[in-house]
Amino acid sequence: MNVEQADQARQDPGYRRTLVELLYQLADDELCLGHRDSEWLGLAPDIEGDVAFSSIAQDEVGHAAFHLERLHELGEPDPDSLAFAREPTEWRNAVLVERPNGDWAKTILRHFLYDVFDDVRTEALLASSYRPLAQGMAKIRREEHYHLLHLKMWVIRLARGGGEARRRMERALSEVWPEVGGLFSWGEREVELLRHGLIPCGSDELMHRWAERVKPVFREAELRWPGMPPAPELQGRSGEHTQDLAEMIRTMSEVYTSDPVARW
């Protein structure tokens, strides 16, 4: 049964609790990566890359804001408090997206792998029983399409460029792959998410769909397929994070924490 609005979701505590968990995952992934993207402002290797990453960062943070607003409608704190005032253990992002950018090759490869995942996840959530989420995902997916085109171009360009570019891409692959598997987890409430119709498929199916999309790009880029991503050491969906997240939150919230009640 579809749920058409927040008031209806709030009448079912089990449904609401499970939906809230899902929305935190979505918001935190996007907010983390959006912030990391913003760190490239003025530093990308060319003007096109600089403009593109600025735009992508804005989109990712905007998508995070959408999910934070849905959380507020369900009775969670206001979006600014959620973005800037939570402890790291309260965040539900995958560990992969909280890591520092590294060099351009690592940034591109990490972002490409995430964006393929995000497109697969977004496509799946078009069928979510929570209609405000499904409707928002339709708009978000249109924007993410252009991110993927840009990042695919860069993956192929760097990997097939030879020399230093190729070496850096191969190094990036070995560095990011151990944490890619954390993306696909639906967290501790996967069974409830499926039962309530909030998601249409489990984590294994999500990874399979993702791999079928990534493998052709790797072949075109002449990159070795390392095999399916292993289970990560830290479960970000369960609040297990690195010091990188704590430092990122501290940086993001510096202005907010100077006067949390101020209106900027």
What residue spans define the domains of the chain?
6-224+235-250
Alpha-carbon dihedral 182, 187, 190, 191, rounded to 10 degrees: 130
Whether CATH 1.10.3720.10 fits 6-224+235-250: no
What gap in Å lies between CA 63 and CA 100, rounded to an integer?
20
User: What is the pLDDT confidence band of residue 262, given thresholds at 50, 70 and 90?
Assistant: low
Mean pLDDT of 116-134: 97
Give the model confidence (pLDDT) of 157-210 as tens digits.
999 998 999 999 999 999 999 999 999 999 999 999 999 999 999 999 999 999
Q: Which residues contact 20 (CB under 8 A, 6 or more apart)?
A: 71, 74, 76
> pTM to 2 decimals?
0.95
Q: State yes or no: pLDDT of 86 exceeds 80.
A: yes
Q: Can you say whether residue 70 is alpha, beta or left, with left for phi > 0 and alpha for psi between -120 and 50 degrees?
A: alpha
Mean pLDDT of 39-49: 84
